[in-house]
Amino acid sequence: MTNHPAAVGDPGPGVVMPIGGAEDKIGRMTVLREVVRLAGGAQARIVVLSTASSLGDEITHAYLRLFATLGAADVQGLRPESRAHAADPALVAALDGATGVFMTGGNQTKLATLIVGTPVGDAIVRAHQRGAVVAGTSAGASICSLHMVSFGSGGSTPKFRVGQVSEGLGLVRTAIIDQHFTQRNRFGRLIALIAANPAQLGIGIDEDTAALISADGRLEVKGRGVVTIFDGSDVVTTAYTATGTQPLMISGIRMHTLPRGAVFDLTTRQLVSAPGLFDQDEPTAVATLADVPDGARPRTRRIAAEGRHETVAELRRRPERRASS
């Protein structure tokens, strides 16, 4: 799943690309480059939707420059500030011609309130259905879900009413997406939401990290951090009896932490592949002396050195060596 086809002329739904926020904008820009590539590269027509941001035209112009610098053929910015604005035919026409849509960060409740169920929101869904890549960072990532995290507090302990969900765009219908995940310690709220909604997977995305979700339900990780997935299929919980903000009893949730290059199937809820993972299809066998090549001689130093640095005695000697040097 390393080479997703570009959206240009591609039948069927395009890639949905939620980003955990704070994506690199001055270095290699791995995540933003992927947006341009999926939108068609030199033929990309990208529309930036900045409604969620409080930075106004500043953030719109910043992304327009970034995508143009990365080689997109055409970039446009939209910023509807009311549901009436989100019915403007000119905005809808811009989205209808896009091969990529990028939703900025900010306030996802504002984004959902002003966009979901409007002609602009419907145009984003249509763009996805005809093959355009739809990407969103931070708040723009959360709204990709059908059940969107609208607000909640951080912390590692799942508690009753620690988070709230609202209706999102529904581009990803089987998972609740959270962002800035490790950096803002949002484990507790996503686990609590999954305990109360076990039919949904929980997807927590780190900063400068993206989850590329294809139409077949496969998710591939790009970027610097990890994507954390919670599966509550077999959960046992007190989520439906708790009161106030008390901690929840939760048992049986499975957790997957997926670094760059890992592929996960959201339909089967199973890992597909990951860099450095032993090939599970490779046959195993019992080695005997007959398998040792004639004339083979062990490399004594190499064998003796293996693992030496991991011994307690070696670790204890290290500070002494530094002090004497």
Q: How far apart are the C-alpha atoms of 77 and 94, rounded to whole Å? A: 9
Identify the CA nearest to 179 among candidates 87, 111, 279: 111
Secondary structure (3-state) at 325: coil
Residue 82 is a catalytic residue: no
Determine the Cα–Cα distance for residues 126 and 46; give it in Å rounded to an integer. 15
Write down the catalytic residue from 4, 50, 53, 138.
Answer: 138
Residue of 4, 147, 180, 256 marked active site:
180
138 counts as catalytic: yes
Distance (Å, rounded) from C-alpha 210 to C-alpha 260? 9
> Which residue, 162, 149, 176, is CA-closest to 247?
162
| Cα angle 130-136-142, degrees, rounded to a multiple of 5 | 105
Q: Which listed residue (207, 214, 220, 256) is catalytic? A: 207
The DSSP bridge pattern shows strands 175-179 and 163-167 to be unpaired
Is the Cβ–Cβ distance between 115 and 86 less than 8 Å?
Answer: yes
Known catalytic membership, residue 128: no
Chain-centre distance of CA 285, in angstroms?
Answer: 38
Q: What residues act catalytically?
A: 138, 180, 207
